[in-house]
A and B are shown apart, each in its own frame.
Chain A
Amino acid sequence: MDFREDSFMLILALAVIAFVLVQSAAFLLKAWKQGKRIGLSSATMKNTVIQSVLFTITPALAIVATVIALAPALGIILPWIRLSVIGNISQETAAATAAIEATGAGGITVPITDKTTFATVMWVMTLASSLPLIVLPLTLKRLQRGVKKAVSKAANPVLTDALAAAAFIGLIAAFIAKALAGVGTCAVDADGVITYNYDGAGLLSVATLISSVVIMLILSKIAEKHNVNWLKNFAMPISMFAAMGIAILLTQLLPESIAHFEFRPPVVS
């Protein structure tokens, strides 16, 4: 049996997954108890859970897609473990690629057959992502004190609100800028055949972004005007799914050259 996907690897993965589930449940329980203590209603906390479940489904599927993308070289289990603890899409792909290149074992699409190479990749992916676990407990308390001080110094509620909103908007702007102007990627095989990933900014990304914003604004307006409480909770996931539906629809309806049009030529990944 392929050592990358044998029962030993599966047991390792299941142990890690069980650990993550217990940890998350422990935090959830602790926060819930504190919520009760400070007078947050059960309805508000339940709504948070429901909204978060709905919000998570699609991005989680995109993470599953990364696991699949890494599977040809690493098998399915290691990417699954790595993306369940600390890992994120871009970092794990980069770490795996660098580790495979360091051992001279080929690329990310070539299956690893040597156990030592596989162990090297495991160590690199693990060590590349473990720093926050050391830095966070040492710094977080002090950082938060600094933030609290800065907020209390600002004192003026208009300014405090504006700065809090500005921090959110700065984060969101990074993704908006990528959707508006990001360069896509493509792969070139040994015969020189180019495969486009269609992941750059173009007609589809802008159409999806605008649809998502517009649908969200309309749904929020309706929810507010007619006081539809359930819609307030579901407006965000509905807008997301609807915008992605529009992306599928445009791909089906428009000629391929228009639907896949990107503003800038893709680079080889």
Chain B
Amino acid sequence: MKKERTYNDSIHAFGSVWSALVLLVLLSTPLLFCIRYDVWPSLSDVWNGLWPVALITYPTAVVEIVAYTPLLGSGGMYLSFTTGNISNLKLPCALAAMDTAGVKSNSEEGEVITTIAVATSALVTTMIMAVFVLALRPFIPRLTDPSSILSPAFKQVMPALFGALGASYFSKHWKISIVPIAVLTLIVVISGSIGTGVLIPIGVVVSILGALLFYKLKWI
């Protein structure tokens, strides 16, 4: 008997096709530029620029894929990794959406809600960027200039975003929250400029281990 194709199977096929298409579009941008202007950078220059960054971004990408898989559904994962700005936008947006809708990640409902949230967020971000870049270009530097009245708000987007997002989790799971916040703050005190991309996987592991320990000790 032919096995029925599930939504999960179809979203993986869908996501794989789109990933390949995005890769094609992505690589064609510099290629078309080179063809149009007949300029061909030396491989050594590209390599010298690439390796110090890739040394960080490639392992980070792998760690991010592992860390975000339990949080985002399949559709949310494919779309987040092709549209970018995951930790600072797509992931918190998906978490907030699941929280409000009262659904859990790794459930059928969670899969749908995260995909809708990430897709909406990607559409809005892309449109906002296009509008600002095309229409409001002359005004943007004034809005984001350090002397602008709005400047402090732009600098504090992350504390505002994660404070609001964390509030309900902290109040519901305050015991679990103490360990990761304390450990990560200590790490940042020791190494102040450590990247958020490195901190997130550490935070997820510390938090899960802490929760397991508390469970074993019957504190939660």
Contact = CB atoms under 8 A, between A and B. Distances in A.
A136 B15 contact: yes
Interface string B84-113: 111111011101110011001110110111
A252 interface: yes
A165 B112 contact: no
A243 B83 contact: no
B204 A44 contact: no
A240 B30 CA distance: 38
Given A245-B153, A251-B152, A95 B57 contact: yes
Nearest to A250: B152
A240 B69 contact: no
7 pairs of A and B residues whose beta carbons are closest in the complex = A212-B163, A183-B192, A170-B207, A99-B49, A102-B49, A31-B115, A177-B184
Contact of A216 (B77, B97, B112, B168): B168
A245 B144 CA distance: 15
B62 to A, nearest CB: 6
A248 B133 contact: no
Interface in A53-104: 53, 55-65, 67-68, 76-77, 80-81, 83-91, 94-95, 98-103
Nearest to A21: B126
Interface residues of B, number: 155
B34 A119 contact: yes
A42 B220 CA distance: 36
A140 B77 contact: yes
Given A28-B123, A245-B153, A126 B95 contact: no
Most chain B beta-carbon neighbours within 10 Å: one of A23, A95, A180: A23
Nearest to A165: B173
B162 A84 contact: no
A15 B130 CA distance: 12
B167 A116 contact: no
Given A24-B79, A148-B106, A198-B155, A167 B70 contact: yes
A251 to B, nearest CB: 4
B16 A27 contact: no
B116 A133 contact: no
A179 B94 CA distance: 22
Given A124-B53, A137-B19, A137-B78, 13 more contacts: A25-B123, A47-B101, A102-B48, A136-B77, A147-B106, A170-B206, A170-B207, A171-B71, A174-B200, A183-B192, A213-B170, A232-B100, A235-B164
Nearest to A264: B192
Interface in B1-53: 7-8, 11-12, 14-16, 18-23, 25-27, 29-30, 32-34, 36-37, 39-42, 45-46, 48-50, 52-53
A136 B184 contact: no
Nearest to B110: A164
Contacts of B207: 166-167, 169-170, 173
B211 A182 contact: no
A185 B67 CA distance: 28
B81 to A, nearest CB: 4
